[in-house]
């Protein structure tokens, strides 16, 4: 390896529907939604967001990145694969549960999902 190298991790390529599906499963498990209930997914009011962006820089940055919702994109991981081989991938459902659990947002662990407990 060089002292500095640029290596991209391709990661997941997801749609809003993919996210809604993964989050719906967690919501059922946590009792946030009735079984077979669905998360409400609607479009964002972009004219309102542009108005808010005049006062909130974070929203202005979000508006600049809007095109990413409509343009398929992915990072090219060729160099990383040359170095480590195929990338390890955590299934989306597991990654979502791990992230929400790490933020302390889950009350009940998923059946069959193991959380590491630090030893004393």
pLDDT single digits (tens) 6-35: 999 988 888 888 999 999 999 998 988 988
- Predicted TM-score of the model (pTM): 0.67
- Residue 20 covered by a domain: yes
- Residue 10 covered by a domain: no
Asked if 101 and 109 touch (Cβ cutoff 8 Å), the reply is: yes
Asked if 26 and 96 touch (Cβ cutoff 8 Å), the reply is: yes
Rounded CA separation 11/111 (Å): 25
pLDDT tens profile 35-71: 888 888 888 899 999 999 999 999 999 999 999 888 8
- Residue 38 covered by a domain: yes
- Residue 6 covered by a domain: no
The structural domain count of the chain equals 1
For residue 55, the enclosing domain spans 16-102
- Residue 9 covered by a domain: no
How buried is 101 (Cβ within 10 angstroms: 0-12 exposed, 13-18 middle, 19+ buried)? Answer: middle
Among candidate residues 15, 7, 2, the one with its CA nearest the CA of residue 84:
7
């Amino acid at each position: 390896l060089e002292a500095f190298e640029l290596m991209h991790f391709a990661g997941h390529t997801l749609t809003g529907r993919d996210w809604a599906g993964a989050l719906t499963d967690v919501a059922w498990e946590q009792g946030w939604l009735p079984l077979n209930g669905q998360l409400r997914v609607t479009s964002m009011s972009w004219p309102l967001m542009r108005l808010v962006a005049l006062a909130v820089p974070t929203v202005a940055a979000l508006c600049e990145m809007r095109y990413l919702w409509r343009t398929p994109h992915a990072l090219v991981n060729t160099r990383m694969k040359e170095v480590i081989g195929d990338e390890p991938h955590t299934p989306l459902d597991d990654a979502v549960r791990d992230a929400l659990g790490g933020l302390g947002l889950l009350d009940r662990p998923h059946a069959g999902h193991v959380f590491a407990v630090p030893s004393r």
